[in-house]
Structure 1
Amino acid sequence: MKILMVSIFAPHFFNWTEQLKDSGHEVYWLDVFDSNTHVEKIDFAEQITGWRYKQDFKGRYLLKSKAPKLNKLINLLNERNLTDVLEAKIKEIRPDVVHSFVIYLSGVPVLPVIEKFPELKWILSTWGSDLFYYRKHQEYLEGIKKVLPKIDYLFTDCKRDHQIALENGFNGKFLGAFPGGGGFDLEKLEEYFLPFDERNVILIKGYQGKHGKCLEVLKAISGLHAEIKNYELVIFGAPTEVFDYIESSKLKTWNNLQCLEKLPPEKVLQLMGRSFMYIGNSSSDGMPNTLLEAMVMGAFPVQSNPGGATSELIENRKNGLLIEDPFDIQAIQGDLKEAISGALDVKTGIAYNFENIRPLLDRNKVRKQVLEKYKLIESELN
């Protein structure tokens, strides 16, 4: 089967697509924003990059910074249109299916092209806030409602988003909820895995902004110095706002706190393998990849639950803690205090995840299931 992937440049996408290596499918990737970068991880796929500029002249970046108006005018003449490129590639490649990743970036923009090829099957993968957040905003909802009825096959990263899709016009075949980046190489990750009694890190996702709500966690943590003083507190992925908050609060005086900027995925997994507890808090998400990493690596997960996605894996107070209101500092503080003090049986919760959740996220198992879905699509084409 010829599959034309249409996606942004994203680790989730590369991890997902890697599952198709040696599958017998012929895979192509059109980079919708054209990073003009070849990705070794998916070097088995034909990568359509470097398409945006007719002439990639020297000094283009300098011109953009020094004369933005002139640069914009030049780009009107020099840039190719995504839809024109996609249409040409469909005619050239003659794919059996087009697979779009993220509806508002790689679905809505290409709808006019897809409609020109009514015999072409269309797959959509959603992850994160793709449907949950953007369907609440009219300018995005209009596009979502136009695209979903045209989708033949749907992958999501949580069951919640299947329901949202149904409510907004999807009437195709649901292929299932899978981790957005595929599963995890459990055997490889064993080297990062410390026994429970040797773990001394409380790990916090530092995202702060439109969705990330790390500051609420830090405000909750700041009232638990006595309980946390014997732990190593590590914040990762922190933007300037988080560093500024720490500098202006009493957390600045804590000698057991370390705040880090964005880390490579491998480093995050290493930290997870040393962590007693992982905390992630956001107002909007799908099934958070870092939550899955925590469960795979044996850290007790404390995670926000927007729209009920996280509760598909976590039973509150059994194998993790659910933050139902990401802005409720007192509730977050109370739950953390209970878990850290030993009032909650954290060790049993981790053991449950290890026995029941971790095996479901094995990369080989997930890959086999995903390839079966592509095989199903192929069978329906004939």
Structure 2
Amino acid sequence: MHHSVHAARWIEALLDADFDLHLYPVDPAPPHAYIRGLTLHRPTPASPVAAPSVSISRRVARFLRHVLQDPLDAIRLLREKLARHAASTPAPEPRPRAGDPLRVRPVPFDGDDPQARVRLGRPDESEEAIMALHGPQMLAKVIAEVQPDLIHSLEFQHNAYLVLAARDLMLAADPSRGFPRWLATNWGSDIYYFGRDEAHARQIRRVCEAVDLYSCECRRDLALGRSFGYQGPELPVLANSGGIDVDAAQRLRSQVPPSQRKLIMVKGYDHFAGRAMVSLAVLERFADRLKDYEIVMFSVGSRPRVRALELKAAGILNIRVIDIATHDEILECFGRARAYLAVSISDGISTSVLEAMLMGAFPIQTNTSCCEEWFVQGETGFAVSPDDFDEICTQFERALTDDALVDEAAIRNLDIIRSRLDQTVMTPAIRDFYRQALGMPSRHEGSEPR
């Protein structure tokens, strides 16, 4: 997902490391502004495809169900439909573009972060033309042209499924040709949550059995990968968000001790996993004690946004909803926060937890993430059950009232982040990660983060 800051920061560690990097985008959105130093493949249509006229959402939903049940047949049907469109639609004058559909354009880019949101398993736009340009058929063509030594799919539902479909196409066309070495990395809830769904579980198992290498950011997810059929070697467990310049981040951090800060950070996700409405209910319970606090919600879903603005309008809570912000602006808010609250039924490490630890905000995160692999439960953070509202309230109240707890945790958490997430640690670890994946000798023995 080329518009993700996490992908951008991961790629940044590979710059000037003698790797020839190629990026295949999952949709036509512009790349993240941090992405540079690689070749971005910009698919362009050889023949235009007419946009569907009616019932797009129902047709897309029906097609996605078919993809999950029978990927090869779904691809066959899509190819036939696109061929009919191309045959029946007169071609307009081509837009001025350099090169053919497989033309590659070098970066760096200096565009803005589009803050893109992508749906499960397909590009964001509900148009078949997007699926044709950024789907498995075009990816298969790029793979055949580039002939990479390693394909790395970052995330499962949008990316590993896509590589799997491209692999099916290539092996069906020529079984003797084989397929390049493939590394699949699990992000967030890719296996922990979606593995409970029967249709997704079949796809996840197909991926885990097909890949040469599997990686993840949690010990929990390593075991889950094995349970889904992965039999390859164990790669280092590294944060998917890549490294961070800890010293630069600290310049955005308030010098006021966390116990004296008057801001609470809240993740606003409200989707298959996010439970921001629960977080708002917790805050509302403590409204009298939060009169002097600013509540900042980020990554906010529509329902929590409406409720947050209602609470603000009623004078119950002083809530500020952040719709668009730079990464530095979010870090600066964390650097002024006493505590951070996030409730979800599934996650990976949660990059926001790491950012809270980095900036001195005491983390309260549901135990459906891997947060306990990073902080010390009860001392440097609270891992709580998403199903126990009273427990969440109890731990939030303690973080709100125990000054010694939050101040001591901020010191210890910064040490943890510096030792495991700083660029000086992560960059050599990520480079060695790829050397191991490619069967090359390591240049930085002992550099893996603790």
TM-score (norm 1): 0.87
Q: Distance in 2 between matches of 1:250 and 1:32?
A: 38
Give the CA deviation at 1:50: 3.0
The residue aligned with 1:303 is 365
Question: How far off its partner does 1:148 sit?
Answer: 0.5
1:125 aligns with 2:178: no
Q: How far off is 1:246 after superposition?
A: 3.3
Check the 8 A contact 1:21/1:44 in 2, yes or no: yes
Residues 9/236 of structure 1: CA separation in 2 closer, same or farther (3 Å cut): closer
Q: Which residue of 2 aligns with 1:375?
A: 435
Structure-2 change in CA distance of 1:255 and 1:139 (3 Å): closer
Does the C-alpha gap of structure 1 residues 335 and 343 become closer, same or farther in structure 2, counting only changes over 3 Å? farther
Q: Secondary structure of 2:433's partner?
A: helix
Distance 1:296 1:363 in 2: 13
Amino acid in the other structure paired with 1:177: V
Match of 1:284 among 342, 346, 353: 346
Amino acid in the other structure paired with 1:253: G
Whether 2:241 is the aligned partner of 1:181: answer: yes
Give unpaired runs (5+ residues) of structure 1. 1-6
Which of 36, 43, 46 pairs up with 2:36? Answer: 43
What's the CA shift for 1:43?
Answer: 2.9
In 1, distance between residues paired with 2:324 and 2:31?
22
Q: Does 1:103 align with 2:156?
A: yes
Matches within 5 A, 1:214-293: 214-248=276-310, 252-254=314-316, 256-293=318-355
The within-5 A match list for 1:6-85 is: 7=1, 9-35=3-29, 37=30, 40-51=33-44, 53-55=45-47, 67-68=53-54, 77=85, 79=129, 80=132, 82-85=135-138
Give the letter for the 1:318 counterpart: E
Identity of paired residues, percent?
A: 22
Structure 1 residues 104 and 235: CA distance shift in structure 2, 3 A: closer
Q: Offset at 1:311?
A: 1.1
Q: CA RMSD in A?
A: 2.7
Looking at structure 2, the residues matched to 266 and 146 of structure 1 have their Cα atoms a distance apart, in angstroms, of 39
Aligned partner of 2:374 among 296, 303, 313: 313
- Say whether the 8 Å CA contact 1:8–1:106 is kept in structure 2: no
Aligned match of 2:140? 87
Equivalent pairs counted in the alignment come to 365
1:333 maps to amino acid: C
Counterpart residue number, 1:199: 261
Q: Which amino acid aligns with 1:319?
A: T
Aligned-partner residue type, residue 14 of structure 1: A
SS of the equivalent of 2:274 reads: coil
| 8 Å Cα contact 1:158-1:309 kept in structure 2 | yes
Shift of 1:34: 3.7
Partner Cα separation in structure 1 for residue 265 and residue 314 of structure 2: 17
Amino acid in the other structure paired with 1:199: R
TM-superposition CA deviations, 1:140-196 (whole Å, max 9, x none):
110111110221222212221111000110011222222212011112212211124
Tell me if the contact between 1:28 and 1:47 (Cα under 8 Å) persists in the aligned partners. yes
- Displacement after TM superposition at 1:262 (Å): 4.1
Give the alignment partner of residue 196 of structure 2, picking from 128, 136, 144: 136
Matched to 1:77, the amino acid is H
Deviation at 1:377, TM superposition (A): 2.6
Q: Distance between the aligned counterparts of 2:220 and 2:212, measured in 1?
A: 19
What's 2:356 paired with?
294
Aligned-partner SS, 1:379 = coil
Match of 2:405 in 1: 345
The alpha carbon displacement at 1:11 in A equals 2.4
CA distance in 1, matches of 2:277, 2:56: 41
Rounded to whole Å, the distance in 2 between the matches of 1:104 and 1:69 is 24
Return the letter of the residue paired with 2:223: Q
Give the residue type in structure 2 aligned to 1:12: H
SS at match of 2:295: strand
| Structure 1 residue 251, shift from structure 2 partner | 7.7
Which has the higher mean CA deviation after the structures are superposed, 196-205 or 96-105? 196-205
Q: Unaligned stretches of 5+ in structure 2?
A: 60-80, 87-128, 172-176, 442-450
Partner of 2:420: 360
Q: Look up the equivalent residue of 2:36 and give its one-letter code.
A: D
Whether contact under 8 Å (2:308, 2:319) holds in the other structure is no
Range moving further from structure 2, 8-17 or 146-155: 8-17
CA distance in 2 between partners of 1:206 and 1:39 (Å): 22
Give SS of 2:363's match.
strand
Mean Cα deviation higher: 39-48 or 206-215: 39-48
Q: Aligned letter for 2:23?
A: W
How far apart in 1 are the matches of 2:407 and 2:339? 10
2:97 match = none
CA contact (8 A) 1:228 1:340 kept: no
Q: Match of 2:225?
A: 165
The SS at the match of 1:130 is coil
Q: 1:175 to 1:252 in 2, by over 3 A?
A: farther
Match status 1:210 vs 2:290:
no
User: CA shift at 1:113, angstroms?
Assistant: 3.6
Q: Which runs of 4+ in 1 moved over 4 A?
A: 69-76, 247-251
Tell me which moved more, 38-47 or 366-375: 38-47
